[in-house]
Amino acid sequence: MERLTSAPSRDTSSLADALSVRELEVLRLLAEGHTIKSIAAQLDRTEASINERLRDARRKTGVGSSRELARQLVAQKIWDKNPDLAMTSLPAEGSVQPASRGLPGPKGTIAMLIAMPLIAAGSLLMAADAPFNAARPHTAQTAAAARTSPLVGRWALDTAGVPAEERPRAVTISFSVAPDQRWTTHVEIVNPDGGTLHAESTAALDAAPVPVSGNMGFIDSGSLRQPAPGTLVMTLGKDGAPVSTRVYTVSRDRKSMTETIIWAGSSMPKLETNTFRRIG
């Protein structure tokens, strides 16, 4: 596992100058929350190829951690200065065909999700755009579902299911419901180096986007829908565009929860999963 340590002081603009367009594209996706696996899927490459690009980038810049390098580039707003990097995926190596275009998703440092049949993926992709087009009315049925939902409580990620090179120290998610049926979601990620990421939002179950506070810069809005008491659909966005849709489902014994993520913009999405255990 690479150590997430800060690099020696250096002019950040020169970091971008030292990197190729391919390396910058991989670092952009890493900065916006993708894992090595999802970056490989997004760019239609192998995970080994992605790791090689990151190693080259670290060697060229002298920054000891890929995520620290990505963080420094974000701080310098490299993507804003190079709009093509923010919107265009590179072709697979050895291929002359353009890769599919799409927005990356947010996970901060982690991918959290559950296996679902591909037939469900189409529904999730359509759901991803809905909150950014029109809000749905908050019905009496959704209020009743919120009151009885087994999702309410605190959940801890089963980190054993995360690849070792991406494994955090801990991830917790908590859901609570106010008397007015607005849901508050709080997420905290403890990285391998002890650094923390956190995000919080409060939303009704009407698919209307609300602001997300915290230090996860790859998202700024979220919305919620609840098709059933034990299922919650969350869409996360950035700058008015959907980033990912996440589906949380509680087991029958209410002791575990799976989270399924589908990234916006993928023509044939690869679903990612993680399992959470109830801790409160």
More confident of the two residues 58 and 142: 58
Q: Output the DSSP codes for 40-83.
A: HHHHT--HHHHHHHHHHHHHHH--S-HHHHHHHHHHTTHHHH-H
For residues 79 and 42, what is the distance between their CA atoms, to the nearest angstrom? 17
Reported confidence tier of residue 121, pLDDT bands at 50, 70, 90: very low
Instruction: Phi first, then psi: give them for residue 144, nearest 5 degrees.
Output: -65, -40
Give the pLDDT confidence of 227-242 residue by residue, as tens digits.
888 899 999 998 888 8
Predicted confidence (pLDDT) per residue in 171-219, tens digit: 999 999 999 999 999 999 998 888 899 999 999 999 999 999 999 888 9
Q: In degrees, to the nearest 5, what angle opens at C-alpha 173 toward C-alphas 169 and 175?
A: 165
Q: How confident is the model at residue 111 (pLDDT cuts 50, 70, 90)?
A: very low
Contact between 212 and 27 (Cβ < 8 Å): no
Q: Do the Cβ atoms of 230 and 149 come closer than 8 Å? A: yes
Predicted local confidence at residue 144, as pLDDT = 52
